[in-house]
């Protein structure tokens, strides 16, 4: 029987001490500094191009914004654009941090505008650049 089972030992590729993982900048902030080099390489290999769902996020935020991350993520899940809240949050963060397309909403005095989210904490409001 050649099929792998639950008890087969996984094949590990050893990493020599003293080698460094790609920097966080190389992995576009998708891997933590403490993550192994494999996580950094995987993050760096991802495409950071915008897709149709990113366009839908921006279109919705233009219509309904400014919104907090939670408000926007909840709406994206309710509309079926994303299946899970965490997936929607990741996409929002990508648009903000890698593409600089979502920016902080400023109030009349030029300060960062905030709203109270569902947990009762203050959260920054975001809008489309």
- Residue spans per domain, the chain: 16-46, 52-128
C-alpha dihedral sign at 110, 101, 69, 77: positive
Is the full-model pTM beyond 0.75? no
Question: Other C-beta atoms within 10 Å of 91: how many?
Answer: 21
Using N-to-C axis directions, what is the helix angle for 52-64 and 69-78, rounded to 10°? 120
* Radius of gyration in angstroms for the set of CA atoms belonging to the chain, rounded to a whole number: 19
To the question of domain 52-128 being in CATH 3.30.70, the answer is no
Q: Is the pLDDT of residue 6 over 50?
A: no
Residue 84 near residue 108, CB atoms below 8 Å: no
Q: Is the pLDDT of residue 46 over 80?
A: no
- Which tens digit of pLDDT belongs to each residue from 55-80? 889 899 999 989 999 999 999 999 99
- If phi > 0 it is left, if psi is from -120 to 50 it is alpha, else beta; for residue 38 that is alpha
Q: Is the pLDDT of residue 28 over 70?
A: no
DSSP states of 40-53: HHHHHHS-----HH
The pLDDT value recorded for residue 114 is: 94
- Which tens digit of pLDDT belongs to each residue from 81-120? 999 999 999 999 988 888 788 899 999 999 999 999 888 9
């Amino acid at each position: 029987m050649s099929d792998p089972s639950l008890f087969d030992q996984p094949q590990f590729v050893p990493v020599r001490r003293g080698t460094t993982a790609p920097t966080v900048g190389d992995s576009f902030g998708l891997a933590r500094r403490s993550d192994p080099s494999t996580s950094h390489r995987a993050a760096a290999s991802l495409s950071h191009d915008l897709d149709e769902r990113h366009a839908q996020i921006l279109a919705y935020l233009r219509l309904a914004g400014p919104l907090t991350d939670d408000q926007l993520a909840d709406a994206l899940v309710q509309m079926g654009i994303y299946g899970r809240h965490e997936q929607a949050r990741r996409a929002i963060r990508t648009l903000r941090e890698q593409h600089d397309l979502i920016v902080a909403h400023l109030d009349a005095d030029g300060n960062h505008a905030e709203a109270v989210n569902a947990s009762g904490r203050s959260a920054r409001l975001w809008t489309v650049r």
